[in-house]
Amino acid sequence: MSHWRSLAEEMVREQIEGRGVRGAVLEAMASVPRHLFVSENLAENAWIDSPLPIGEDQTISQPYMVGRMTELLAPSPGERVLEVGTGSGYQAAVLCAMGVKVVTMERIKKLALESRERLARLGYDAEVLWTDGSAEDRPEGPFDGVIVTAAAPELERWWTDVLAKGGRLVAPVSVMSGGQRLLLRKKLGNGRIKDTWHEYCRFVPLLKGKKGDEPLRPNNEPTNGPNRE
């Protein structure tokens, strides 16, 4: 797909900038080959205004959501950001393209390994961890930003604890009225927390536990046995 750069620019202009997103994220999103973050048969659709399936019942987020969440996160070059929910690795790539140091956590082994390989191949220097990002075995902080790309019923406490002073957390959170809403949490210079609520959204759920390398089920051949990794 040699003409992808013009498709990327059009996507940014119409879907991201056209809906009011501003700042360095626009240039970053125009530079990332989104069609290489989906399977080949979906590459043609990579630029449409929608999330797309990436296998394992998961999705690559809608471009606008990536743009808006990144705008709220407002990372500066050289800052450290932790992502929970690597998925395809696209959000991580956008952050890398902004000069951010990214650590990203994915609970599904297959997606973690694929994204790690993909990001490295495309030259994005992100650290991909196969781990449950809702659990306590967290990478060492502090982080200037935490971005959660799966919907949680509530925020894990350590996501706030791991934030540096001046740090920002962006997450879709399930709300009482039904649906989910983007939360921006800032840890102020004095350590106090300031929350603001933004638009409604729709993300796949944050789930507990790692997936992959399950023990053999009776009468069932493994499709992805440990020896193949």
Q: Which residues pair with 44 in a beta bridge?
A: none
* Contact with ligand SAH (CB under 6 A) among 48, 74, 113, 204: 204
Give the range of 22-30, 68-76, 106-114, 118-126 binding ligand SAH by CB under 6 A. Answer: 106-114
For the chain, give percent helix, strand, coil, nearest 5.
Answer: 30, 30, 40
Instruction: Take residue 211 and report the two structure tokens written for it.
Output: 């997936």
**In whole angstroms, what is the distance from residue 145 CA to residue 104 CA?**
12
CB of 20 to ligand SAH, least distance (A): 21
Q: Which residues pair with 128 in a beta bridge?
A: 104
Q: Which residues pair with 193 in a beta bridge?
A: 187
**In whole angstroms, what is the distance from residue 4 CA to residue 140 CA?**
37
**Residue 61 makes contact with ligand SAH by CB under 6 A:** yes
**In whole angstroms, what is the distance from residue 33 CA to residue 93 CA?**
9
Pure H helices in the chain? 4-11, 25-31, 63-73, 90-97, 109-121, 157-161
* Angle made by CA atoms 79, 93, 208, in degrees to the nearest 5: 85
Question: Applying CB under 6 A, what is the total number of residues that bind ligand SAH?
Answer: 23
Give the range of 38-46, 120-128, 132-140, 219-227 binding ligand SAH by CB under 6 A. Answer: 132-140
**Residue 96 makes contact with ligand SAH by CB under 6 A:** no
Q: Which of 61, 88, 115, 134 is catalytic?
A: 61
Give the range of 74-82, 86-94, 165-173, 175-183 binding ligand SAH by CB under 6 A. Answer: 86-94
* Contact with ligand SAH (CB under 6 A) among 84, 146, 173, 183: 84
Active site residue 61: yes
**Residue 97 makes contact with ligand SAH by CB under 6 A:** no
Contact 178, 160 (CB under 8 A): no
Give the range of 4-12, 23-31, 87-95, 185-193 binding ligand SAH by CB under 6 A. Answer: 87-95
| Positions 147 through 176 that interact with ligand SAH (CB under 6 A) | 149-150
Instruction: Take residue 56 and report the two structure tokens written for it.
Output: 């394992």
**Residue 62 makes contact with ligand SAH by CB under 6 A:** no
Q: Of the two residues 131 and 186, which places its CB atom closer to ligand SAH in the complex?
A: 131
List interacting residues with ligand SAH (CB under 6 A): 58-61, 84-85, 87-88, 90-91, 105-108, 111, 132-134, 149-150, 204, 206-207
